[in-house]
Amino acid sequence: MYRGELNFDGLIGPTHNYSGLSEGNIASFKNSKKISNPKKAALQGLEKMKLLIDLGIPQGIFLPHERPHLESLRKQGFSGSANDIVLSASKTSTLLLNQSYSASSMWAANAATFSPSTDSVDSIAHITPANLFSMPHRRIESEFTYNQLNIIFNSSHFKIHKPIDPSELMGDEGAANHLRISNNHLEKGIQIFVYGRDSSETNLNFVARQTKSASEYIAKSHQLDVDKTFFLKQNIEAINSGSFHNDIVSLSTENVFIYHEKAFADSKYEIQKIKNSLKNPNELFFIEISEKEIPLDVLVSSYLLNSQLVLNSNGNMTFIMPSEVKNFPECTKWLENIKTNSPIQDLRYVDIKQSMMNGGGPACLRFKIVVNEDEFNNINPNFLLNPSLLARLENLINSSYRDNLNINELADPDLVNESYTVLDELTQIFNTGSIYNFQKA
Query: Looking at the annotation, which residues are catalytic?
Result: 173, 245, 364
- Cα–Cα distance measured from residue 382 to residue 152, given in angstroms and rounded to the nearest whole number: 8
Asked if 410 touches ligand SUG (CB under 6 A), the answer is no
CB 373 within 8 A of CB 30: no
Among 9, 247, 254, 375, binds ligand SUG (CB under 6 A): 247
Asked if 104 touches ligand SUG (CB under 6 A), the answer is yes
The pairing of strands 229-233 and 285-289 is unpaired
The site for ligand SUG, by CB under 6 A, has a size of 23
**Is the Cα torsion angle 296, 302, 305, 306 positive or negative in sign?**
positive
- Cα–Cα distance measured from residue 431 to residue 200, given in angstroms and rounded to the nearest whole number: 45
The side-by-side arrangement of strands in the sheet containing 190-195 is: 178-181, 190-195, 229-233
Give the residue among 427, 438, 440, 441 at the shortest CA–CA distance from 63. 427
Among 15, 25, 37, 142, binds ligand SUG (CB under 6 A): 25
Residue count of the chain, please give it. 441
Q: Which residue's CB is nearer to ligand SUG, number 37 or number 432?
A: 37
- Cα–Cα distance measured from residue 114 to residue 149, given in angstroms and rounded to the nearest whole number: 11
The pairing of strands 59-62 and 4-10 is parallel
Q: How far is the CB of 29 from ligand SUG (least distance, A)?
A: 8
Return the DSSP state at 12. P
Asked if 432 touches ligand SUG (CB under 6 A), the answer is no
Among 7, 15, 19, 255, binds ligand SUG (CB under 6 A): 19
CB 27 within 8 A of CB 359: yes
For ligand SUG, which stretch binds (CB under 6 A), given 104-112, 146-154, 251-259, 279-287?
A: 104-112
Return the DSSP state at 243. -
Asked if 176 touches ligand SUG (CB under 6 A), the answer is yes
Q: Which residue's CB is nearer to ligand SUG, number 117 or number 307?
A: 307
For ligand SUG, which stretch binds (CB under 6 A), given 3-11, 186-194, 240-248, 259-267?
A: 240-248
Among 43, 70, 85, 109, binds ligand SUG (CB under 6 A): 109
Asked if 241 touches ligand SUG (CB under 6 A), the answer is no
Q: How far is the CB of 106 from ligand SUG (least distance, A)?
A: 9
Q: How far is the CB of 33 from ligand SUG (least distance, A)?
A: 10
Asked if 218 touches ligand SUG (CB under 6 A), the answer is no
H helix intervals, 241-349: 267-276, 296-302, 329-338
Q: Would you tell me which residues interact with ligand SUG (CB under 6 A)? A: 18-22, 25, 28, 102, 104, 107, 109-110, 135, 138, 176, 244-245, 247-248, 358-360, 364
